[in-house]
Each structure stands twice: as C-alpha cells, then as structure tokens.
C-alpha cells in the first residue's frame, strides 16, 4: 500500500505506558481510529517479542477492517510476518537493501530523522516517508532531543516525500506547524495518554485538517 498524503492526516503512535483508560491496546487503537486517526504505528519497545507479535496481528486486522495503513516500528521480522503495510526505522538503522529484501518492493518504508541531511539520505535511499521530531514549539526547551519549528521546516524543504511531525504535541501546539510543509501529525501521549482516546484523536484530527 503506497502512502498518499490523505493517509497522513493523523498518525496514531501506540503508547501503552501513558494509557489512562482501562482497555486493551487493540480497543484503545479502535477508539483512536473512530476519532479520526488515518494511520496506526505500533511502537512498544518494552514489550517482549511474542507479545509484540500478538499485538501486531490484532492491529493489522483492525486497521484492515477500517481500511487504513498499519505500520510496524523497527521490527522488520514482525512487519513481514503480519503483512504490515510498512515499517518505520531509526535513521541509524536504515538499511534499505535489507529491508526491501524482507518486505519486498511494495510496502512503505519510513525513517525517523531530525536533520535535513538525514532526510535527504533517507529519501535517496528509498524511504517513502519521514517522521521528524520530537518537535518543540518553544516551551519545552529542557528536552534537549527536541527539534525546533525552523529545523522541521528545513527537513520538509530538503525532500519531496511526505514528512510527519511527531512528539509532545498538544492541540494548542499544532497551529505552530502551519506552513512548515508537513503532510501529517504523529501523536502518542496526545492520543493514548488522554482520558478519552476517541475525543483526543478527534480534536487532533480536526486541527490537523485546518493546517495541512
């Protein structure tokens, strides 16, 4: 499944550690989809491999029911086993030859980047989309791993593939992303760390429609 810009409005990145609702991950993700998530990324680095595989199977089926892309974070073997629509890997782990050997030519590859040169190299290496962040809008400067709005704009300007901004973004922050060139918003705690997952996703989706 190739990723079109319409798919990237609101990317729900799973976040079991922040969940406040007493639900399974599968049910919380369904709430996010019903709220307006247009793509789901399974990112649970602390789960054992077997548990992660089971969650991937559940979410792949769920996303198929709703006709939205299901993307696996980092685990190429799991992405292949469950027939995920794609994979996201860290820039340092981006090995397009190996990934394409496992996943074939038709599934999406995303790369986590924070700098224009990383973005260009990922694009030239065959990435179909980028995830860029975490993004700071100026009030969380104690997080030294954040990138600025200006750095996000530079990444978007460096490539002609979709860029998803992610990380630490609340409703009020998203307006700062207007005009940066992004094709989507990625949210983890902003969706799954809220008391009403569906409502949180709906609010983020509404705002994303206004700026994208």
Question: 3-state class of 141 per DSSP?
Answer: coil
Beta bridge partners of 73: 88
Query: Rounded distance, CA 83 to CA 174, Å?
Result: 32
Q: Where are the alpha helices (DSSP H) in 36-145?
A: 49-66, 76-81, 96-103, 116-124
pLDDT of residue 3: 58
- Can you give the CATH number for the domain in which 30 is found? 3.20.20.70
Owning domain of residue 162: 5-211
As for how many domains the chain has, the answer is 1
pLDDT of residue 62: 98
Query: Rounded distance, CA 127 to CA 120, Å?
Result: 10
pLDDT of residue 212: 86
Helices and strands, counts by H and E, the chain: 9, 8
pLDDT of residue 26: 98
Tens digits of pLDDT across the chain (212 residues): 455 554 589 999 999 999 998 999 999 999 999 999 999 999 999 999 999 999 999 999 999 999 999 999 999 999 999 999 999 999 999 999 999 999 999 999 999 999 999 999 999 999 999 999 888 776 555 556 788 899 999 999 999 999 999 986 666 778 889 999 999 999 999 999 999 999 999 999 999 999 98
Which residue's entry shows tokens 């989706």?
205
pLDDT of residue 1: 44
pLDDT of residue 162: 95
| CA distance to 38, 80, 142, 158, 186, per residue, from 14 (Å) | 13, 19, 24, 28, 10
Residue 138, classified by CB atoms within 10 Å of its CB into exposed (0-12), middle (13-18) or buried (19+), is: exposed
């Amino acid at each position: 499944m190739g990723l079109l810009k319409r798919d990237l409005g609101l990317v729900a990145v799973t976040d079991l550690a922040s969940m406040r609702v007493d639900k399974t991950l599968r049910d919380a993700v369904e709430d996010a989809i019903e709220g307006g998530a247009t793509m789901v990324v399974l990112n649970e680095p602390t789960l054992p491999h077997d548990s992660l595989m089971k969650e991937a199977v559940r979410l792949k089926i769920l996303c198929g029911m709703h006709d939205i892309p299901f993307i696996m974070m980092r685990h190429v073997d799991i992405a292949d086993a469950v027939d995920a629509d794609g994979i996201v890997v860290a820039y340092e782990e981006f090995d397009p030859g190996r990934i394409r050997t496992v996943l074939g030519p038709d599934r999406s590859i995303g790369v986590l980047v924070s700098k224009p040169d990383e973005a260009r190299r990922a694009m030239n290496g065959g990435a179909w989309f980028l995830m860029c962040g975490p993004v700071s809008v100026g009030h969380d400067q104690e997080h030294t791993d954040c990138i600025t709005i200006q750095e996000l704009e530079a990444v978007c300007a460096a490539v002609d593939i979709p860029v998803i901004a992610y990380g630490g973004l609340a409703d009020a922050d998203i307006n700062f992303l207007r005009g940066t060139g992004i094709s989507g918003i990625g949210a983890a705690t902003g969706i799954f760390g809220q008391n009403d997952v569906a409502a949180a996703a709906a609010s983020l989706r509404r705002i994303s429609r206004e700026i994208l």
